Amino acid sequence: MSVADKTIVITGASRGLGAGLALAWSRQGARLGLCARREPASPGGQTITAAVDVRDAESLERFAEQVEEVLGPIDLWINNAGVLEPIAPLRKIDAKDLETHLAINAVGVHNGSKAFVRSRRALGGGGVLLNVSSGAGRNPYEGWSAYCAGKAAVDRMTEVLALEERDAGIRAYSVAPGVINTDMQATIRRASVDDFPLVERFRELERIDGFATTDEVAAGLARLAFGEPHHPEVLVDLRDLDQGT
């Protein structure tokens, strides 16, 4: 499914999955609006980049307006920005660290979703919102209380938004993309067994190269956003989508 001539915004695009999606889609001729706390490098083509903290709702609104003015109406918005840490049993986590985590992983998704929905409604509706979630939002992992809570919030927030925006023709999905070998995975592998008892499972994935590639994820997200017929569920695991479910 080609994204040629589509206008796509990706938050958290300075590294990891966000940077990989930007590179894959720039090669296909997409028009890209890329932002992160540290301004992303441009992959080339028709691209706008900016340093934007997703915790700052007004900055995201201004970025959305800039993308529209230069690249045209936003067809797809991907709330990808997120953090993993703190990794530790809940009893060891400071409340301030939890607040910072949720401000990025949950409030940041709220801010991006709001900017996109307001933009599309001003144009009469339509468009697709993809919020990057995780299997951790749907299953508990010892040591990941912050991450599990944040991603669970993203899942339910997206389900509510999908209901609220049906009349405007805006489709919203919360997507678990699978396991990709990014900096976040390296952080997981460095965790101690005491803080994250399942760490060896992720170390084994590195040994057997059991990761999805960003190109594979990009292809799956493009099918979800622009393929026909539209996927009927809001919560999506890309690995299931690849199997036709």
All structural domains of the chain with their residue ranges: 7-242
| Nearest CA among 52, 58, 57, 56 for reference residue 33 | 52
Inter-residue contact 86 to 95 (CB < 8 Å): no
Residue 1's pLDDT is: 74
- Say what the pLDDT of residue 49 is: 98
- Output the six-digit token pair for 127: 């468009």
Contacts of 20 (CB under 8 A, 6+ apart): 180, 182, 213, 214, 215, 217, 218
pLDDT confidence of residue 243: 52
CB burial readout 7-18, b (16+ within 10 A) else e: bbbbbbbbebbb
Q: Which two tokens mark 208?
A: 């057997």
Q: Nearest 5 degrees, angle CA 210-CA 216-CA 221?
A: 125
Determine the Cα–Cα distance for residues 29 and 44; give it in Å rounded to an integer: 10
Amino acid (1-letter code) at residue 104: I
Any catalytic annotation for residue 147?
yes
| Rounded-to-10 torsion of CA 158, 113, 125, 156 | 10
CA distance 26 to 4: 9
Phi, psi of 202 (to 5 degrees): -80, -30
d(CA 154, CA 152): 5
Residue 241 is predicted with a pLDDT of 80
Per DSSP, what are the bridge partners of residue 47?
32
Whether omega for the bond prior to residue 40 falls within 30 degrees of 0, making it cis, is: no
pLDDT of residue 106: 98
Query: Is 127:112 a contact under the CB 8 Å cutoff?
Result: no
Residue 244, pLDDT score: 47
Which is catalytic among the residues 63, 77, 144, 147? 147
Provide the CATH number for the domain formed by 7-242 in this structure: 3.40.50.720
Question: Would you write out the chain's pLDDT as a tens digit for each of its 245 residues?
Answer: 789 999 999 999 999 999 999 999 999 999 999 999 999 999 999 999 999 999 999 999 999 999 999 999 999 999 999 999 999 999 999 999 999 999 999 999 999 999 999 999 999 999 999 999 999 999 999 999 999 999 999 999 999 999 999 999 999 999 999 999 999 999 999 999 999 999 999 999 999 999 999 999 999 999 999 999 999 999 999 988 865 44
